[in-house]
């Protein structure tokens, strides 16, 4: 019988905190999935199809390579999906959108309330600070184990800036400058990624003109900020109709 929440990537850094946050919310945990040989005290199920069959909603923090298979298994089973995995390709995001025609999906590159407020502020700042005068740059730092760059959150901030300026991020994104790159292109949004130590997540959005700088910085000190937000999203998504939702919907910010 379908009951409670399931966690994909349950033995991972996020998965372990999610187990605690699901318990703290008083929600039942049906079990989880992870790679063979992973260690967890929770019930491990063989694959996503088995996990979907056992629970009413899956919270998924795994790896981008899982997304298309997870989208298919969850849509076929009619199980809601809170998706926090980052580094998704355009094909992965298309698979998420197809699944959202059949199930409720909350997909956010960052589930912390602070970052979602930062996204809203970024869009407003970008609309107020014209690209001809203010260069937008996004700098992020994460722990040395992170596998994708720029971070999903940095890309989300870039999308918010692009939306504020009425352009598509893909048309103005300058990521990982290296070598003889030429002068900065007016209107482009720059990205730089640092990796080292055990930094949970730091993002700065800078608008730089010749006369002034204004910067917005978010620092996460504990993964609990993301895990608590994901559990909040899971409680919100229960019983919601099929659709693609974001953390902004969960927080009532749009
Ligand atoms: P992690 O490597 O510690 O954990 C990922 C877990 O997924 C591992 O235990 C791994 O074994 C498991 N896994 C990988 N492939 C699998 C598969 N095919 N089937 C089942 N399990 C599989 O990583 P992490 O730091 O916990 O982050 C996980 C993901 O969440 C990353 O994409 C990260 O960028 C993202 N993340 C998102 C947010 C957010 O708020 N949206 C916050 C933090 C991390």
For 20-38, how does the pLDDT look when each residue is reduced to its tens digit (9 = 90+)?
A: 999 999 999 999 999 999 9
- Is 143 annotated in the active site? no
* The predicted structure's pLDDT at residue 154: 97
The CB of 63 under 6 Å from ligand 1? The reply is: yes
Contact partners, residue 242, CB within 8 Å, separation at least 6: 100, 101, 102, 103, 104
Q: Which two tokens stand for residue 185?
A: 């292109």
Domains, the chain, with CATH or none: 5-107+223-250 (3.40.50.720), 113-220 (3.30.360.10)
Question: pTM above the 0.85 mark?
Answer: yes
- Is 203 annotated in the active site? no
Q: How many CB atoms lie within 10 A of CB 190?
A: 20
Closest atom of ligand 1 relative to the 112 alpha carbon? 40
List, for the chain, all residue ranges whose pLDDT scores fall below the cut of 50: none
Q: In terms of Cα–Cα distance, which of 223, 226, 227 is closest to 23?
A: 227
Among candidate residues 72, 146, 188, 240, the one labeled active-site is 146
For 73-104, how does the pLDDT look when each residue is reduced to its tens digit (9 = 90+)?
A: 999 999 999 999 999 999 999 999 999 999 99
Contact partners, residue 6, CB within 8 Å, separation at least 6: 29, 30, 31, 32, 33, 45, 51, 52, 54, 55, 57, 58, 59
Instruction: Please tell me the distance from the alpha carbon of residue 225 to that of residue 167, in angstroms, as a whole number.
Output: 31
Q: How far is the CA of 63 from the centre of ligand 1 (A)?
A: 5
Q: How far is the CA of 19 from the centre of ligand 1 (A)?
A: 14
* The predicted structure's pLDDT at residue 253: 84
The CB of 108 under 6 Å from ligand 1? The reply is: yes
């Amino acid at each position: 019988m379908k009951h409670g929440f399931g966690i994909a990537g349950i033995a991972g850094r996020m998965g372990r905190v999610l187990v605690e946050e699901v318990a703290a919310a008083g929600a039942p945990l049906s079990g989880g999935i992870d790679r063979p040989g992973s260690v967890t005290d929770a019930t491990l199920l063989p694959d996503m199809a088995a996990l979907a069959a056992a629970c009413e909603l899956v919270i998924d923090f795994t790896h981008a390579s899982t997304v298309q298979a997870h989208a298919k298994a969850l849509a076929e089973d009619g199980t809601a999906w809170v998706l926090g995995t980052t580094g998704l390709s355009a094909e992965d995001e298309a698979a998420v959108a197809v699944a959202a025609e059949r199930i409720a999906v909350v997909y956010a590159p960052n589930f912390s309330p602070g970052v979602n407020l930062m996204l809203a502020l970024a869009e407003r700042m970008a609309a107020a600070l014209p690209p001809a005068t203010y260069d937008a740059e996004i700098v992020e730092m994460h722990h040395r184990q992170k596998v994708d760059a720029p971070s999903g959150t940095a890309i989300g901030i870039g999308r918010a800036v692009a939306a504020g300026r009425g352009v598509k991020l893909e048309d103005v994104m300058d990521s990982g400058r290296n070598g003889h790159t030429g002068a900065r292109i007016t209107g482009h949004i720059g990205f730089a990624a640092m990796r080292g130590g055990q930094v949970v997540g730091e993002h700065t959005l800078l608008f730089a003109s010749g006369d002034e700088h204004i910067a917005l910085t978010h620092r996460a000190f504990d993964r609990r900020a993301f895990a608590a937000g994901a559990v909040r999203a899971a409680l919100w998504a229960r019983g919601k109709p099929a659709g693609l939702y974001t953390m902004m919907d969960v927080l009532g910010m749009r």
